[in-house]
Amino acid sequence: MWFFLASEILFFGGLFTAYTVMRRLNPDMFALASFKLNAVMGGINTAVLLTSSFTMAMAVWAAQMHNQRLLRLFLGLTILFGSAFLVIKGFEWSEEYKHHLVPGSSFGYDEHGELHVNDKSGHHIDTQQLKGLQLAFVFYFTITGLHALHMVVGLVVLGVQWWFTLRYPRFGVEDYTPIEVSGLYWHFVDVVWIFVFPILYLLRT
């Protein structure tokens, strides 16, 4: 598990490094991309994910205490908060789609083919600036999409373990290693988001 987490750290570290390099080359448009993201929804999702990290820690504790009832409860709460994170993220992505901020041939253009992206002052940006802004959103959707994919994997694993606590009376309490391993993975995903949130949402200058 530690080898896997190390490889994941290198993977996301590479993404963050590439983002940092490209941001230095396109500072104004990357700052504009952060300005156009919904920091409130991002902050709410951060709180939701931190809460899920707490409930996951409590699930591990319940397993170590050989209390399957509490284990089932905290696994269920972790799944609930993790699912809420994805739902909120889905609403956020849909808003970005409505504002023509999904990378592609129609990025920045409305249904009439008119450029529909303004800078912080409300003025239309030019096509060259649009390329830099689109690059910023390529990184945004790549990073948040991969993070969401890791969330889905974690939720599937936790869902299976929660179902096992219903089917097998001693699952997770006689040998709590599977719960601990899942906890490590879940905390890793949470830590990744702790880096994602300020880098993508809060660096607006």
The domain segmentation of the chain, as residue ranges, is: 2-202
Per-residue model confidence (pLDDT) at position 199: 95
User: Which pLDDT tens digit goes with each residue over 180-205?
Assistant: 999 999 999 999 999 999 999 998 76
Written as six digits, the tokens of 20 are 């940092």
Q: Which residues contact 155 (CB under 8 A, 6 or more apart)?
A: 79, 82, 83, 86
Per-residue model confidence (pLDDT) at position 110: 62
| CA distance linking residue 53 with residue 46, whole number of Å | 11
Task: Give the number of other Cβ atoms within 10 Å of residue 138's Cβ.
Answer: 17
Q: Flag residues of the chain having pLDDT under 50.
A: none
CATH, domain 2-202, list 3.40.47.10, 1.20.120.80, 3.30.1360.200, 3.30.450.90: 1.20.120.80
Cβ contact 11:147 at 8 Å: no
Per-residue model confidence (pLDDT) at position 121: 65
Torsion of CA 20, 21, 24, 27, to 10 degrees: -60
Per-residue model confidence (pLDDT) at position 24: 94
Per-residue model confidence (pLDDT) at position 185: 97
Q: Is the pTM of this model over 0.85?
A: yes
